[in-house]
Structure 1
Amino acid sequence: MKLISFLGIANYQTANYVWRGQEHTTRFFPDAAAHFLQPVQTLICATPTVQKHANLHELIAQLTEANVAHEIVPIPEGHNEADLWEIFKALTNAVAEGETVAFDVTHSFRSLPFLAFLAVAYLQAAKKVRVERVLYGAWEARDENNHSPVFDLTPFVTLLDWLTATNRFVETGDGQALANLLRAGMPPGIQMRDDLMARTLGHNLKSAAEAIESVSLALRVTRPIEAMQSAAQLAETLAQATPGIQERAKPFQILAERVVTEYGQFAVENPTDEPSLRDGLRRQLQMVEWYIKRRHIVQAATLAREWIVSTLCLRFGEPMFDYTEGRKYVEGALNNAAERRKKAPRTIEPSRCDEPLEALPCAETLSKLWGQMIELRNDIAHVGMKSSPKHAALLKQKVEAMYPQLLELANVLLPSDSE
């Protein structure tokens, strides 16, 4: 592990720094940090002014005496924006891909702490660097015995991870990164085996991770029934996991409400039960819009087609979840209606749903939309492997144009309970 520290020209006072049962007396916290963390190398970021100052010479002498390998990382004074970019570059270049690092921001000054935190986030994402610790030696918080505490700022670094993962889940539906962070907060296996509280804590965090994964996966593979069930369980599961989140995943405690709000719109506890079918279809239409807004065009087109069939199954009293006994007759009637309206229709095979479909006030609109849906679905399903495939942008445009028509159909086919 590398330790990256900073040094200034202030008149640092001697303090007895205390961290996790260890103590070390020194003027310079980089010396204490090296004692606590035992890095393979300590990097001291120093401006030209610091490089000439007695502070650096004294710190180097202390590190040398303690047999701590060290290196000076030259950085500019930071008088302008160009300097700040050079400092950022120096910090990120000092670490190789995949390395483990710790940061000490105690003697950093002006904007350096901010740049250090940004460097941490950048290194994690761009170089897959593992950040072991971010420490601050709080000399100003010393007690009457001159014992100065050391603040572990590492959990605050993970705020960016939690924010990024939550945004990814809310904006795209991919909850894997968020689930991984929750699992990372679980106590070690041995601790969970021997300690009931740790076991309960781990179980709650695992349940929260699984609930997020369940909703995420159901949406990504277009499983609306499963998505509605999982969304209904999500709020309850996260509420039960609150003690664990408060203790081991504090940043998510604030973000959890956003997750529940986003996916609560799809929540139906028993979507296949007869009393819930109408509500479930309304939620599925919301899913179509959700997919479109996130540019999940394949899922939007797939669900939109099945939504039309499901809605007519409910309208005609056909089994919604049985293709052989219900859905195939509705699909047959839709195909027939679209075929009849062609200039040169082919021979059609009658369906028992032909008559009720043609009796609908929206039969013309429905037939036209279904014809477009067939063409769109076939183009998507064959992944453009034909002589004249539609461009992706055009497919997106067509799916977006269909959604207002679906809303109009819903007003006719799924009137509110009060109507």
Structure 2
Amino acid sequence: MQKIITFLGLGSGLTKYQHSGQVYEGSVFPQVLRQFQPFDEMLVCLTAGAREKTWHLLENLKDDRIIPIDIPDGRTEAEIWTTFQAVIQHIDRDDRVIFDITHGLRSLPFQVFLFAAYLRAAKNAEIEAVYYGAYDLKDADNVAPVIDLSSFVGMLDWLTATDRFTATGDGKDLAQLIRGEMASEIEMNEVPDEKRMGEHLKKAANAIDNISLALALTRPEEVTKAAKKLKNILTETTRSLNVKVKPFSLVKEQVQLAYGQFAITDYKDAKAILMKQFAMIRWYLDRQQIGQVITLSREWIISVYCWKFKTTDRTEITQALNNLRVSDIDDIREKEWSDYDEEIRSELNASAIKRIWKETTKIRNQVAHCGMSGNDQADDLRERTIALYPDLEKEIAVLLH
């Protein structure tokens, strides 16, 4: 159903309002709204004072679709909650909702945006408009404009999606919002500017998707490349984003700051790459993404020793680390020998490396086997992973400085 949620105040006065080029007249704005906005129900929120002084202006219309909803004055937090509950109980799932805040007093206009956010999330309601009859902005002909503020409801989506992307790495919602601002295929084919801007928006959305997926799947090399590409694309498409996606232009800097840190300029600088990967481990840890922390930590340890011993043979380095569990090098079985057994064991902190590698491997196996083997609980694995980070920093990351 299509429902209007409007408010009445204590005052009234014959006023002309302009909407979509047409002028309408009414003593209170809901009278005007009724003339141009189709609806199934008009829910009129009114305090005791409004019921006494202005409700009759709508009641006299004898329109069964107009329904009064009694609300308190909103003097306390409890009264504000009462208003919230009184309004939302009249909205059903998938309703189409139009708000009018023209006569909203005190905090009501602010509350309306919270109503809108709640109804969209909890009841899948579509917010078609948030009207404000701007009485104080009358023109020379004494006609007040009707302003639709619904685009600002969408700001909540942009803020939520951006926060989700920067806080967790999940950019799906943000990319979808950007794509939603693209013109239609027909428009892009007919208007060169729309085509150019559409291509820019698509590139920006794809760049966000790419780094989001790389982070989710713990692909550090892809993350660094995707971060650089995202940074370049956001710079390249600045004008199009500012024109077509104004909400994103306000949060773009936040996105660049969050992921620009992973961008690498020289992919031949192995040391710089390893330092970026260690920063990623910290990033995952800060977000409590334990599976990614432990998976990347194990591979990063191998990469550090590959770098130190100037080899690309990850199998040999892994075997040498595994062989640390054998106390005497002479006791290592011939088929398990590694070319780097002596090098690893000659490290001054070999005992610390042994302990870190053993714990990392244990936790990683528990995570990889999804709890199907072993009795460790999730919270225990989390605490052990968190405790491991200082050791990685002290004993292994120090090699990169």
TM over 0.5: yes
Deviation for aligned residue 1:71: 1.7
Tell me the equivalent position of 2:194.
Answer: 198
Identity %: 37
1:3 touches 1:34 (CA, 8 Å); kept in 2?
no
Task: Name 1:339's counterpart in structure 2.
Answer: 326
CA RMSD of aligned residues (A): 2.1
Q: Name the CA distance, whole Å, in 2 between partners of 1:72 and 1:142.
A: 29
1:144 Cα deviation from its structure 2 partner = 1.1
CA distance in 2, matches of 1:183, 1:133: 22
Which amino acid in the other structure matches residue 360 of structure 1?
E
Give the aligned partner of residue 284 of structure 2: 291
In the alignment, is the contact (CA less than 8 A) between 2:12 and 2:28 conserved in 1?
A: no
User: Which structure 2 segments of 5+ residues have no match?
Assistant: none
> What TM-score, normalized to structure 1?
0.90
What is the DSSP-based 3-state SS (H/G/I as helix, E as strand, rest coil) of the residue aligned with 1:340? coil
- Counting only pairs closer than 5 Å after superposition, residues 13-412 of structure 1 correspond to structure 2 as 13-15=14-16, 17-53=17-53, 55-62=54-61, 64=63, 69-269=65-265, 271=267, 275-319=268-312, 326-340=313-327, 349-386=336-373, 388-412=374-398
How far residue 177 of structure 1 moved from its aligned partner, in angstroms, is: 1.5
Asked if the contact 2:165–2:171 (Cα under 8 Å) also holds between the matched residues in 1, the reply is: yes
Equivalent residue of 1:52, what SS? helix
* Farther off after superposition, 301-310 or 108-117: 108-117
Q: Bigger shift: 40-49 or 107-116?
A: 40-49
Shift of 1:389: 1.4
Aligned equivalents of 1:345 and 1:99: distance in 2? 71
- Amino acid in structure 1 at the alignment position of 2:56: H
- 277-286 vs 363-372, which moves further: 363-372
- Sort the Cα spacing of 1:146 and 1:134 in 2 relative to 1 into closer, same or farther, 3 A: same
Q: Check conservation: 1:229, 1:270, Cα contact below 8 A.
A: no
| Structure 1 Cα separation of the partners of residues 389 and 31 of structure 2 | 64
CA distance in 2: counterparts of 1:206 and 1:283, whole angstroms? 28
AA of the residue aligned to 1:59: L
Give the partner amino acid of 2:171: G
Q: Residues 227 and 111 from structure 1, CA distance in 2 versus in 1: closer, same or farther, beyond 3 angstroms?
A: same
**CA–CA distance in 1 between the matches of 2:56 and 2:398?**
82
- Please list the CA deviations of residues 244-282 of structure 1 after superposition, one character each: whole Å capped at 9, or x if unmatched: 3222322221211111111111112564xxx22211110
Describe the SS at the equivalent of 2:67.
strand
For 1:375 and 1:39, the matched residues in 2 are separated by: 63
Where does residue 323 of structure 1 map in the other structure? none
* Separation in structure 2 between the aligned mates of residue 92 and residue 205 of structure 1, nearest angstrom: 36
Residue deviations 1:20-45 (CA, integer Å, cap 9, x gap): 32332222222323333322322211
Specify the code of the residue in structure 2 equivalent to 1:58.
Answer: L
Aligned to 1:413: 399
CA shift in 2, pair 1:121/1:205, >3 Å: same
Aligned partner of residue 135 in structure 1, secondary structure: strand
Partner of 1:18, secondary structure, is strand
The Cα of 1:220 is off from its aligned counterpart by 0.8
CA–CA separation in structure 1 for the residues paired with 2:354 and 2:334: 17
Scaled by the length of structure 2, what TM-score is found? 0.93
Distance of 2:315 and 2:300 partners within structure 1: 14
- Asked if the contact 1:233/1:269 (under 8 Å) is kept, the reply is no
CA distance in 2 between counterparts of 1:290 and 1:156 reads 32
1:52 deviates by 2.7
CA distance in 2, matches of 1:281, 1:14: 68
- The aligned residue for residue 322 of structure 1 is none
The answer to whether the Cα contact below 8 Å between 1:232 and 1:266 also exists between their aligned partners in 2 is yes
